[in-house]
A and B are shown apart, each in its own frame.
Chain A
Amino acid sequence: MSDVVVEPLAGLTLIHFTLTSAILFAIGLIGFVSRRNLIVMFLCTELMFQAAAIAMIAFGRYHLDVSGQVFVIFILTIAAAEAALALGLVVLLYRRRETLSAEAWSELGEP
């Protein structure tokens, strides 16, 4: 019976994981705002998804509840759908302007 690990986050606390997740989220936000390449901007949104997933799983572990992990499955689904659509759009946009710069589309219209 003793091999079932129940000590909450043995030696670590919830704060360690939520702080890591907050730092990753902030880095993703900074990247999304400051980078000008469309592909890298979408990569930064994936980084923010990743940070949210770490927080969800840490909270689930704290309460010894698997709903956190189930939510991460949905995050993966949304991330996959977003990547498929966003990257399809990026390829279309690239074909039109021959550049990946986000500023090429700041006017949102046909040239």
Chain B
Amino acid sequence: MAPNVLYTSCVLGAIAVYLLLRPGHRAVKTVGIVLGLGALGWVARESTAALGTPAEGLPTPFFAVFSLIAIASALRMITHHRPVFAALYFVMVVLSSAGLFLMLEAEFMAFALIIVYAGAILITYMFVIMLAQQAPVPGQESGEAEYDVIPREPAAAVAVGFIMLALLSETIFSGTPQLPPPPTANEHLTASWELLNALPDRVEDAVRREVPDFESFVAEPSDRVRVIDGQAYVDIQVAGVREPQQLGLPPEVLPENIERVGLALIADFPVSLELAGVILLMAMYGAVVLARRQIEASVLDEGGGAR
């Protein structure tokens, strides 16, 4: 795709976001919405044409819907004047990116995202918005604070953001063809089966289900599963038979998404996992310290006869 298309649509998008950011008349905002949608649609059309996606030639409708909802709610989030609504639009962004995660076969992360982000972090934000509620000024019935309505340097912010976006998207379009080709179906299947060597109990359970008079494995746990042409085999010793038998494993023994994530977390990143625990502990400690100091301050105020 020609970089000019990218740069032109970035400029159009920048104008659109600028019009939406600054306080203005409804008609101006409509122009901004139309401009933004036009720029987005143009990029989508040009990129699909340039990528030459197979079959229908259009991205899957689910992807189009989820990404459009995510981008639109993110824009509404940074343009809305009330923090509560900004937080609610962020929930929309989280939900639609959970949809994108589902399309990328990351089911566990999609649900973890909804539970942790939409369920826990956003509730914390809601509590803080509630705690830091501004009392409405009598003369001003809208209840919106001045610092929420008037943005700080919107033109400069939009310029910074869209210059970065132009560079990023140019890199994305010129860099992705140089990536190594993704693994083929057979390589992927072989790699998935070989994961089972780290899960000996799972293999043993499956074999016991298949062969009632199973006695023992021939090989050690670390190289028990052999993969030949996308199909996995184990050598087992069956009671009453002298020769070792070869048994093909059924596909439902393959580890699922959550099991693969858990295995990678424990086997490949144990130190990072411990560090994440330390970070959470430190954050909890910090939050307790902050809360404690604040009570002392109010006690001091009362003791000093302030009220």
| Chain A contacts to B: CB under 8 angstroms | 1, 3-20, 22-31, 33-37, 39-40, 42-44, 46-47, 50, 53-54, 57-58, 60-64, 66-70, 72-74, 76-85, 87-92, 94-95, 99-103
Query: A79 contacts B121, CB within 8 Å?
Result: yes
Chain B residues in 8 Å Cβ range of A44: 77-78
Tell whether A67 pairs with B179 under 8 Å between CB atoms, given A4-B192, A20-B67, A72-B109.
no
Q: Are A34 and B153 in contact (CB under 8 A)?
A: yes
Of B150, B152, B260, the residue contacting A66 (CB under 8 A) is B260
- Min Cβ gap A36→B in Å is 4
Give chain A residues whose Cβ lies under 8 Å from the Cβ of B60.
Answer: 10-12
Say whether B172 contacts A5, CB under 8 Å: no
Q: Is B161 an interface residue when CB atoms closer than 8 A count as contact?
A: yes
Contact between B121 and A80, CB atoms less than 8 A apart: yes
Within the assembled complex, what's the spacing in Å between the Cα atoms of A33 and B109? 29
A39–B287 alpha-carbon span in the complex (Å): 16
Q: Within the complex, which residue of B112, B113, B147 is in contact with A100, where a contact is CB–CB below 8 Å?
A: B147
Contact indicator B101/A4 (Cβ below 8 Å): no
Query: Which of B17, B86, B268, B280 counts the most A-chain CB atoms under 10 A from its CB?
Result: B86
Docked complex Cα distance between A72 and B113 (Å): 9
- List residues of chain A with CB within 8 A of the CB of B291: 88
**Nearest-CB distance from A106 to chain B (Å)?**
11
B239 within 8 A of A: no
A103 CA / B150 CA spacing, docked (Å)? 12
- Quick one: given A4-B192, A57-B104, are A50 and B93 in contact (CB under 8 Å)? yes
Known: A17-B100, A69-B106. A83 touches B176 (CB 8 A): no
- 25 A-B pairs with CB atoms under 8 Å apart are A1-B189, A4-B251, A6-B189, A10-B60, A12-B59, A13-B53, A18-B176, A19-B43, A24-B71, A29-B161, A30-B158, A30-B161, A46-B121, A50-B93, A57-B101, A60-B104, A61-B104, A64-B188, A69-B261, A69-B264, A76-B112, A80-B116, A85-B283, A87-B128, A91-B294
